[in-house]
Structure 1
């Protein structure tokens, strides 16, 4: 597979995952807030809105390539936070599938870190950022 095609497909997959997550939040904000509250977080409606708009910003970064490395790094931190907050060890006893969800987050985390380091590629990318220069891949 051509390197450029692989990078663009990866960017689309990242964008699609976060677009689905954001759409679920926007379409079911009350349910998202209940889920957040059940995990013990305060101001769940506010946090649900913040999460939805954060995920939307990630979608834009992954699609455009603008601030790509920063977005991928922030997304990686976010994904690990979600793993521990919503699927961590305290959830495993009640539902063994939660362990699988927890581990899946680390796979996604690894891909996001790889993307953060390597940037958005040289095609179809607005090459802007703060922490790394997105050199052509």
Structure 2
């Protein structure tokens, strides 16, 4: 496919509306899966948090699950989405270092991969922070 054809595809009006909505739906689905697993077994989440060395693991597990559920609502509706995207990016960077950082890499390439993936996801969230929900988001 030649570059002019590709350029015409990405400039199509779909990406101005549908592309932004699709991105919001993907991000919402990721956070829905994350909070769903937390709510499904909050004890396991608390254990994971405690094993990382954090005190008050059970309250932190509930806070994380509720926060992620609120992110899902923000991304699905577009309400406060820019603020939610910024908070989510900061949250992901915290998670990257706290749970998948250099202290966990010793011979485990998967942990390094998960660490790097958090940065890619955070970059997308920062892009969403800059451009907002698009024309299909509910306005404040």
Q: What is the TM-score when the length of structure 2 is the normalising length?
A: 0.89
Deviation at 1:91, TM superposition (A): 0.2
Alignment partners' CA distance in 2, 1:79 and 1:97? 17
Alignment correspondent of 1:23: 36
The structure whose residues are more often helix, as a share, is 2
Deviation at 1:126, TM superposition (A): 1.4
Alignment correspondent of 1:64: 77
Deviation at 1:97, TM superposition (A): 1.0
Aligned match for 2:96, one of 80, 83, 106: 83
Question: Is 2:120 the partner of 1:107?
Answer: yes
Alignment correspondent of 2:6: none
Alignment correspondent of 2:4: none
Question: Is 2:104 the partner of 1:126?
Answer: no
Aligned match for 1:49, one of 62, 73, 76: 62
Question: Residue by residue, what CA displacement relative to the aligned partner does 1:13-54 show, whole Å, maximum 9, x if unpaired?
Answer: 010000000000000100000000000000000000000000
User: What RMSD, in angstroms, separates the aligned Cα atoms of the two structures?
Assistant: 0.8
Structure of higher CA gyration radius: 2
Structure 1, gaps ≥5 residues long: 129-137
Deviation at 1:122, TM superposition (A): 0.7
Q: What is the TM-score when the length of structure 1 is the normalising length?
A: 0.91
Question: Is 2:50 the partner of 1:37?
Answer: yes
Deviation at 1:5, TM superposition (A): 1.0
Deviation at 1:94, TM superposition (A): 4.3
Deviation at 1:95, TM superposition (A): 1.6
Structure 2, gaps ≥5 residues long: 1-9
